[in-house]
Amino acid sequence: MIPGVDYFATHKHSEEWAPDGRTALMTFWRRPLHAMTDAFTAADFRINVISEPFPAPGARELSPISSWTSRRGAFVCFLFFVVQAD
């Protein structure tokens, strides 16, 4: 959780990353978990799996540590959803 940011609010956040010397604008949408799961169920999908994978072995050696965290210090991670249409 980021201090001063309302967990329940949905908002867009962009920042520039340059992990390999080339700059790319990364855009993220922060929203609470219930907003994502509610969207799937409202579209008549059933959630089979929610996964938050760890980095691949050896990945940290291939990429500098700065690319593993955002400028705000949060660990960069993703949630993956496996859904099934009912």
pLDDT of residue 49: 94
pLDDT of residue 21: 85
Does the predicted model carry a pTM greater than 0.75? no
| β-bridge mates for residue 30, sequence order | 11
C-beta of residue 59 within 8 angstroms of C-beta of residue 15: no
pLDDT of residue 20: 79
Which band of pLDDT confidence, cut at 50, 70 and 90, is reported for residue 1? Answer: low
User: For 4-38, what is each residue's pLDDT tens digit?
Assistant: 778 888 889 898 888 778 899 989 888 899 999 99
C-beta of residue 74 within 8 angstroms of C-beta of residue 2: yes
- Give the list of residues 6+ apart from residue 49 with CB closer than 8 angstroms, or none: 80, 81, 82
User: For 58-82, what is each residue's pLDDT tens digit?
Assistant: 766 766 555 555 555 555 567 889 9
